[in-house]
A and B are shown apart, each in its own frame.
Chain A
Amino acid sequence: MTAQRRTETAVRVHRAGPLALLQDRGRFGVRHLGVTQGGPADLYSWAWANYLAGNPWGTASLEITFGGLQLVAERDLDIAIAGADLGATLDGQPLPLWQRVIWKEGQKLAFASPVSGLRAYLSVRGGFAAEPVMGSVACVSREQLGGFDGWGSKLAEGDQLAVYIPDGESAEGMSEAPDHARKYFREAPVLELLPGAQIGEFTGRSLYDAFNTWWSVDDRADRMGVRLLGPKLHCRIGSLISEGINLGGVQVPPDGQPIALLNDRQTIGGYPRLGALSPLSASRLAQCLPGQEIRLVARSSGPVLRDYRDFLELFGPAG
């Protein structure tokens, strides 16, 4: 940590919407205590929003799910929004995504409802300011950890949000994401799965089904996990002794409907798993609305690792 950074109240919550949460990269080094990782469900879009706002890797941003949020700036801010198109407007004018824009004092930034995708990330230059809890401001409501109040609260009407006052007059670096980097979440996604140890315990028919079916996202989908509806998968083992679960783990409870586990999952669990989604596929799944169709495809770690490292390289997450 450098010297104490100065903060200033810069944003007022005019309307809270269903779910807006503060998220930095997440809470690490504490999973052995039963504390989950939190952090952005769509790491990809979160990273881009921060980058375009001129922020270093790990800066805290707002994750806005579904829309409905209305914010008023109390001073001029450089911002960027990436991820879902939630029909964002600035004083009624459509706001471009995947690029830096200026949000002037007094202007109302409003999110409507999903046009494509589910979660948008709003980064302000300097970053939103909150006191870390167990090393992170990542907001996990179930654990009452993180967020602006430190107790896992989502944004509420009337909240005053502080930001760190940025160094320098204006943001530096790329101000607009190149076309190939922008995500529109229109095509049905094909999610990469790294097979896990219990994959051989599923019947041949179930393995065929797992990778040759259009799965449908259930409405039981949140930051803990996303349930997939489709043919019933049969596993020869019903349950395991509880063990650690990594991000993207795809577990299959006795009802045969897989659940892909995301950032706020419980740290241990006891259902057999097909394997784990790649980090970028977990990000993509987090943008799916209920009813969205998806496919699973088995991959080996080599190409998946190359893609993930290419993605991270741009943003330079320090080791």
Chain B
Amino acid sequence: MSRSANALPRLESAGLDGWMIRLFEEIDEANLPWITALARQCESAFADTLVDLVPSYTTLLVVFDPVRLSPTEARQKIVALLMELAPDEDMGTGQVHELPTFYDPGVGPDLDRVARYTGMAVADVINCHSSKTYRVFALGFAPGFAFMGLTDPRLECPRLDTPRKKVPVGSVAIAARQTAAYPTATPGGWNLLGRTSARLFDREREGFSLLRVGDEVRFVSVSREEFERQGGDTTPMEAAG
């Protein structure tokens, strides 16, 4: 493909008060330092004319105040930033989180299903999931819900055919080559492997969400006793309804 209208980065109209900045074509952990750097620069360049920023796998949506900036003025600001853009040096935000996770069929009812699907033993599924450091690609679906990856290719596993009506708070899950932990009880179709005691979303806490786009995350396997000591709820999936 020629480098013309399709060249990246590219600015695309996202309504009267928004521009979509398309930086990459494919999902890649190496995208994040560019996206987080651009988000930070937009914050300072737009200052109080900025309404919202939505970073995601390959893009950054910029929403501005249309009373004080026209789409053309906003575009000029973004173009100027893109000309000088350099990625964050530490490959992202520099934040590393360890999420204590109790892997157990009681709170991770899909462990067996994943083991069968991948042809691994349950212990190997747990080991495989907890031995990698993941990058947060995007937040969405629900407040504080972080899409992370990429998981080991051996763990790749489709979603459930029928989503559960209610997935308990803290559930640690995988789907395709991504992983996540449910910050609130919501419907969900991912494969549940266990539960974390970490408070992922807290309306009273500064910043609200534990995880941000670009952060690094490790799931640390803990015993039932340790999980309960940290305030984790071991009520089995079925009983938690």
A residues lining the B interface (CB < 8 Å): 28-35, 37, 133-134, 142-145, 194-197, 241-249, 266-269, 275-279, 301, 304-305, 308-309, 312, 317, 319
In-complex Cβ contact of B15 among A28, A37, A194 (8 A)? A194
The A interface is mostly helix, strand or loop, or mixed, namely mixed
Provide the bound-state CA to CA distance between A308 and B213, in Å: 32
CB–CB A309/B67 < 8 A:
yes
CB–CB A278/B56 < 8 A:
no
Provide the bound-state CA to CA distance between A106 and B68, in Å: 45
Residue of A nearest to B55 (CB): A32
Report if A276-B15 is in contact (Cβ < 8 Å); known contacts: A34-B142, A317-B67: yes
Question: Within residues 115 to 147 of chain B, which ones have a CB less than 8 A from any CB in chain A?
Answer: 138-145, 147
- Closest Cβ of chain A to B34, distance in Å, is 15
CB–CB B14/A249 < 8 A:
yes
Residues of A with C-beta under 8 A to B68: 319
Query: B20 near A: Cβ within 8 Å?
Result: yes
Question: Looking at B14, B54, B71, B144, which has the most chain A CB atoms within 10 Å of its CB?
Answer: B14
CB–CB B145/A34 < 8 A:
yes
Residues of A with C-beta under 8 A to B141: 34, 266, 268
- Closest Cβ of chain B to A133, distance in Å, is 6
CB–CB A276/B16 < 8 A:
yes
Residues of A with C-beta under 8 A to B52: 28-32, 37
Interface string of B144-160 (1 = CB under 8 A from A): 11010000000000000
- Closest Cβ of chain B to A235, distance in Å, is 15
CB–CB A319/B13 < 8 A:
no
- Closest Cβ of chain A to B26, distance in Å, is 8
Question: Looking at B16, B27, B51, B60, which has the most chain A CB atoms within 10 Å of its CB?
Answer: B16
Residues of B with C-beta under 8 A to A197: 10, 12-13, 20, 22
- Closest Cβ of chain A to B115, distance in Å, is 28
- Closest Cβ of chain A to B179, distance in Å, is 15
Residues of A with C-beta under 8 A to B142: 34, 142-143
CB–CB A308/B16 < 8 A:
yes
User: Can you list 28 A-B contacts with CB-CB less than 8 angstroms, sorted by A residue number?
Assistant: A28-B51, A31-B54, A31-B63, A32-B53, A32-B54, A33-B209, A35-B208, A145-B203, A196-B14, A196-B15, A241-B56, A242-B56, A244-B56, A246-B15, A246-B18, A246-B63, A266-B141, A267-B54, A276-B13, A279-B16, A279-B17, A301-B13, A301-B70, A305-B66, A305-B70, A305-B71, A309-B67, A317-B67
Query: B101 near A: Cβ within 8 Å?
Result: no
CB–CB A134/B208 < 8 A:
yes
- Closest Cβ of chain B to A144, distance in Å, is 7
Query: B114 near A: Cβ within 8 Å?
Result: no
Residue of A nearest to B70 (CB): A305
In-complex Cβ contact of A268 among B12, B51, B138 (8 A)? B138
Provide the bound-state CA to CA distance between A278 and B22, in Å: 22
In-complex Cβ contact of A33 among B27, B49, B144, B147 (8 A)? B144
